[in-house]
Structure 1
């Protein structure tokens, strides 16, 4: 038998072929064997291995190789390789590693391949038909921004005309198209129109990554028929279908609450011969545990299958899974799950903390206390996370004395107060309308150097509003804006609801304007809350005006006087209201009402097509038609 000496090219081909078959052990053996035999892996070998690992969703192995490659002074990791691994981690939701890679990317200075690497790359093209390496060219950011601008402003025939002009200006590559689709996913119809248009260009062919992005966009818009057609088109054109393709479809069905179809797709995936990866299991289990389309028994089966396949959940997924089990009353299943995880290498202390937190979240404080005692008997001490969960649950139950005993136990164990414990106490005292106690804890936090969080401030604002202390609530809110932490969407929404409930809907309307000016986008629920609040107050104002007129008393402040306090509405608010209006761009009654709550409204900003007299006749503002 003639023995064929393995060189770097043949070993690279063997490595790629094994990875495609989802076999990682053999490729690692060959790759390590190269070094022991004195054959140093080349730039091409690394790039092929990294790409095939990414296609097989083995992102951790790809990350390890990329790190090894970057550490070598003789090898040059390109930006394309970094972007490939970053995109894989982003799809899997591992944002910590994404930030780490982006930091490395910023710190490295990339040079062009030297002549030796270029010649080596050209010579090794003999097996590139089987091992397609993704386009290593780095696209211009200005090209992406230009196309995204067109997709966000044009539609229909106008979009087609603009794209025809672009065909002569830009050279479309799969990397550029994927970046455009990723950036413009919010404009779903236009993005998919661009996808089909660029697919018909003679010099361009879609790749697995571009198809996956198009499938994700169609699924995000709940156009599931279109999503399925794209998958069939991939099969028809013999484009490589990966586990990520199936994962995207399963996650889109799950997010829409169609868990029955998601499970059917999962079974279809396995029937087609594709092995689910960690992301597939994670998304399916998370969506099966959600309230919408919840299927706890199925999630238990999938979870066990995931463990038998060698995958461990991350902290987020384990938290969601255990919480759903506890809320459904399946305490035994939750305990079994934690034991199984710990046997397979999951951190025991973390599993202990997550189960305690899940039991407390489900309102089963007694079960949580029993579990903590059992774990302490096995040598595990309660940490600050366990104490915080128990204290919070006890305060929700109204058991203040027991909660304070746990606070003292924390001190005895040398853990001390945490911001979460203090926040829980503030929430409790505000709920009990003991605002002085809440303020006292808040002041002590600042004295100890413990920085209050957004949740702490929000709880205290809610407490002030419930006590009718509006000035104190506004002062605290403005303190957040000046000194931080800056109010987030939940803080704004909470404040808007409380203001409307207190009969200050005009102030709440100005808060919507403030949200926009600070880059926080209000939701439709925020607008509805203000709208109905204004309606209530307008009718109350009309009744009070009639009573005042009968008594001959002085009228309260009108809209003109209020304008001196608040001023004109900003252009961002007006623009946002136009875009939120219904009937394909026509200004609706609700949006006009919201627009008119700001005094000195400039009617010249409104479209000429709006029939103002007719709409004014149906609106009442401060008693004036």
Structure 2
């Protein structure tokens, strides 16, 4: 199966997508910023019938959004960076330098000294210490065993075990690593890329031998082998050691998800040709591509404005009998929104509903943020109200996101009205956004509105407690 993609334009005529109709009254937004006089053109309403739905290629090629250029950083809200504190998320005031010194010294009284610190053991605390020990190359097994003895009720998470495997690799203790992985297999734990961060960097003479040794270890530890081989391949791809990743596949097995890891990494690097070569190689190794294979490449093409190649890829998908999934549509809609062509992007959303697919939360976010970036807040409000009817699973997230965007724009009254309508309809907002809006209302002197929102939110707490 040869999957080369045509580069020339397709020449199919554009098909009329939407019936002209007046927006139903039930869908008109009650928000003050969404009065009927500001409702968008009815051509953009989601009312297409299945019989008139055009192909994805036509939608992509004949859409006015031919140049998928990103929004500038100044147009998007920026997240402030927090300070690096010596307090873990659970409130432990931890002097990691002192902890590291004690563990490095490996004195006979280490356990007694740790006991005297009267520490509160938590996952975040243990992970924090392990990360510091891994960075310093200090053995962590003794500290880990002390944690289990000091707090017998503590149950390590998979994240903690992966950091411990990484530490055993750093200190070259493969015997203990084998015992630990065998135990993890019996308990159903899975390995991630974090477990293999100890491997030498790309280009090191020791990398190939270290990878071969890890493969031998994984082959003898039970069920951890599956997640371990996959995560090892993903890790090697993340450091651009693609030849070694392929050698791991040759020594173990060739699977579609292994090839997908190669495709995803090459796409992340912007290496479309390399990703396409991997896709061509898959059938020769008796591994058929799946929708993830195509979605990775489609996302790469759209990211780098290769619209013609994206059309070719969509044709290949259709010819091979692959049906676009939610992620396919999310990619198409997202990049159209980034090009400020939301009225064209909404046609992809319409196709999803026609085909019975539910949009991802990220798809809704792209539309809501896109409207805001264009100064079309009224359309953003109407979109959220429309989706509350068509996609009830997204109501809480969409309303909360809309309120948050109004907050970012310093329009706290609109943010409060969004939460008011949301709760009036029986939907509970995101707690952090609710708190933020209430605080901003109090600062703005709107105590009455803040109190009203508090009363409404309190009813959700009562309902939760009653259950």
- TM-score interval, normalised by the smaller of the two chains: 0.5 to 0.7
Equivalent pair of 1:430/1:460 in contact (CA under 8 Å):
yes
1:336 is matched with: 247
Which of residues 238, 248, 256 in structure 2 aligns to 1:327? 238
Q: Is the Cα contact below 8 Å between 2:406 and 2:415 reproduced in 1?
A: yes
Are residues 1:460 and 2:337 paired? no
Structure 2 counterpart of 1:308, from 203, 209, 219: 219
Partner residue in 2 for 1:232: 149
Aligned length: 322
CA distances 1:489-523 after superposition (whole Å, capped 9, x unpaired) = 87577545533333334444666786997566545
Compared with structure 1, are the counterparts of its residues 488 and 494 closer, same or farther at alpha carbon in structure 2 (3 Å cutoff)? same
SS of 1:222's equivalent?
helix
Q: Which region of structure 1 is more displaced relative to structure 2, 567-576 or 445-454?
A: 567-576
Give 1:426 deviation, angstroms. 0.4
Q: Partners in 1 of 2:301 and 2:364 — Cα distance?
A: 21
Does 1:470 find its partner at 2:355? no
Please say if 1:570 is aligned against 2:451. Answer: no
Aligned-partner Cα distance in 2 for 1:489–1:315: 37
Identify if the C-alpha distance between structure 1 residues 272 and 463 changes in structure 2 by more than 3 Å, giving closer, same or farther.
closer
The match for 1:369 is 276
Partner in structure 2 of residue 170 of structure 1: none
Deviation at 1:399, TM superposition (A): 1.3
Alpha-carbon spacing, 1:272–1:440, altered in 2? closer, same or farther (3 Å): closer
Cα 1:379–1:482, aligned 2, differ >3 Å: closer, same or farther? Answer: same
In structure 2, relative to structure 1, the CA distance for the partners of 1:282 and 1:233 (3 Å cut) is closer
Which position in structure 1 is the counterpart of 2:121?
218
What is residue 204 of structure 2 aligned with on the other side?
A: none
Superposed counterparts of 1:32-47, under 5 Å: none
8 Å Cα contact 1:323/1:359 also seen in 2: no
Change (3 A) 1:470 1:316: farther
Answer yes or no: is the 8 Å Cα contact 2:329–2:352 preserved in 1: yes
Counterpart residue number, 1:248: 156
Describe how 1:178-577 pairs up with structure 2 within 5 A.
Answer: 218-222=121-125, 228-229=145-146, 231-232=148-149, 248=156, 251-252=159-160, 260=167, 269=176, 275-278=182-185, 285-288=192-195, 294-297=197-200, 300=211, 303-311=214-222, 321-342=232-253, 348-487=255-394, 494-495=401-402, 497-508=404-415, 518=427, 522-523=431-432, 534=440, 559=446, 563=449, 567-570=452-455, 572=457
Q: Say which structure, 1 or 2, has more relative contact order (CA 8 Å, 6+ apart).
A: 2
- 1:251/1:460 Cα in 2 relative to 1: closer, same or farther (>3 Å)? closer
**520 and 352 in structure 1: CA distance in 2 versus 1, 3 angstrom threshold:** farther
SS at match of 1:406: helix
Report the Cα distance in structure 2 between the residues aligned to 1:380 and 1:487, rounded to whole angstroms: 36
Contact kept? 1:219, 1:252, Cα under 8 Å: no
Which whole-Å deviations, capped at 9, do the CAs of 1:108-127 have from their partners, x for residues lacking one? xxxxxxxxxxxxxxxxxxxx
**1:374-428: CA deviation from partner (whole Å, max 9, x where unpaired):** 2234454433221121111111122122111100111111224333222111001
CA contact (8 A) 1:250 1:280 kept: no
Taking a change above 3 Å as real, the CA distance of residues 283 and 310 of structure 1, as seen in their structure-2 partners, is closer
Change beyond 3 A, Cα 1:452–1:521:
closer
Is 2:165–2:177's contact at 8 Å kept on the other side of the alignment?
no
CA distance in 1, matches of 2:221, 2:168: 25
CA deviation vs aligned residue, 1:469-501 (integer Å, no higher than 9, x gap): 222222332344444352388757754553333
The 5 Å alignment of 1:143-154 reads none
Over the residues paired in the alignment, what is the CA RMSD in angstroms?
A: 5.0
Deviation at 1:431, TM superposition (A): 0.4
Work out whether residues 272 and 300 of structure 2, in 8 Å CA contact, stay in contact via their aligned partners in 1.
yes
**Which is greater in Rg?**
1
Question: How far apart in 2 are the matches of 1:379 and 1:316?
Answer: 21
CA displacement, residues 13-60 of structure 1 (integer Å, 9 cap, x when unaligned):
xxxxxxxxxxxxxxxxxxxxxxxxxxxxxxxxxxxxxxxxxxxxxxxx
Q: Matched residue of 2:351: which SS?
A: helix
SS in 2 for 1:352: helix
How far the C-alpha of 1:463 sits from its partner, in A, is: 1.9
Q: 1:422·1:445 contact (CA, 8 Å) conserved in 2?
A: yes
Tell me, which stretches of 5 or more residues in structure 1 are unaligned? 1-185, 190-216, 240-244, 542-557, 577-625
Q: What is the distance in 2 between the residues matched to 1:328 and 1:531?
A: 45
- Deviation (angstroms), 1:339: 2.8
TM-score by length of 2: 0.53
Q: Distance in 2 between matches of 1:389 and 1:273?
A: 35
1:13 maps to what in 2? none
Q: Partner of 1:99 in structure 2?
A: none
Relative to 1, partners in 2 of residues 1:262 and 1:485: Cα closer, same or farther, differing over 3 Å? farther
Gapped regions of structure 2 (runs ≥ 5): 1-88, 93-119, 130-141, 201-206, 462-467
Higher deviation after alignment, 448-457 or 512-521: 512-521
